[in-house]
Structure 1
Amino acid sequence: MRRFLLISCLALAACGTPYERCNREAARFYADALQEQSRISRDLARGYTTVTEWETRRRWQLCGIYHEHPHYCWRTDTEPVTRRVPVNPYELHRRLDEISAALPQLGRDAAAGQAECRKRFPAEVAAETPPQG
């Protein structure tokens, strides 16, 4: 029981302080938009995107030794297969323009949310700020 409690406390501590969680949540949409903008730019530069699909295949494998003779059987394996898919550059440029237009407002919203977090958790902000001088 003690071990479970210790592991639970460590897992909870790994999630971050309430101030860090608040900051992360406040900037989530802005960070997601930046990441999407980066992905679209990369796909436009390459001319394709990658898609991962899971395929199930059957394989004839050695299953064991029975009376000193090899015993074979069919095994089913599910493996990821990554494929290149051509992109529609017009659609991606349209999406990139939408994201670029939304980024300034998302940045302002993130900054306002982080300012609210600093107001809600002043003790943690003071602990993070290095002394000036």
Structure 2
Amino acid sequence: MRNAFAIPLLGLLVLAACGTPQERCISDASGPWRSAVQERERIAKDLARGYTYKTEFETRSRYVPCRTRGGFMSYCWDNDTQPVTRRVPVDKAALQARDAELARAIPSLRTNAQRDVAQCRALYPEEAEAPT
């Protein structure tokens, strides 16, 4: 499930790099608050399911076709590393404690984000679009 968040996050980072200075500033300013909200959503899903996903990388040996020093085709052992995602039971008490901690932190994170976003808008006012 971790990879499910990586792709959209990568997309957001690419878009943030292409945004205006104001958009980049707003994205940076609201990042901690957005992250906390997203983490609470993930925790709620994990608690409802009773498990989470953990991705580990496993290396396996496999017998594959290869060329020998003489240029002939043969078979050789090759190591192949693959991600393996497994279900892992959650520690409900730890998740509930983390959720409570986030619930207490989110209001101040939101206040800070709103303050910082206002500063971004003052620092980087949007220019009026030129008529085409």
Please report the TM-score for the alignment, with normalisation by the length of structure 1: 0.77
Mark the runs of 5 or more structure 1 residues left unpaired by the alignment. Answer: 1-10, 129-133
Q: What is the aligned partner in structure 2 of residue 117 from structure 1? A: 120
User: Are 1:83 and 2:112 an aligned pair?
Assistant: no
**Which of 15, 27, 30 matches 1:27?**
30
**Which of 55, 60, 63 matches 2:58?**
55
Percent identity between the aligned chains? 49
Mapped to 1, the partners of 2:25 and 2:62 lie a distance apart of 49
Paired amino acid for 1:53: E
Larger of the two Rg values belongs to structure = 1
Mapped to 2, the partners of 1:66 and 1:120 lie a distance apart of 65
Which digits, 9 at most, give the CA deviation of each residue in 1:75-120, with x for residues without a partner? 1111001111111111111111111111111111101000001110
The aligned runs of 1:1-80 (5 Å cut-off) are 14-64=17-67, 70-80=73-83
Report how many aligned residue pairs link the two structures. 115
Question: What stretches of structure 1 move > 4 A for 4+ residues in a row?
Answer: 64-67
Mapped to 2, the partners of 1:15 and 1:76 lie a distance apart of 39
Mapped to 2, the partners of 1:102 and 1:113 lie a distance apart of 16
Q: Report how far residue 70 of structure 1 moved.
A: 4.7
Which digits, 9 at most, give the CA deviation of each residue in 1:22-61, with x for residues without a partner? 1011101001101110111111011011111111111011
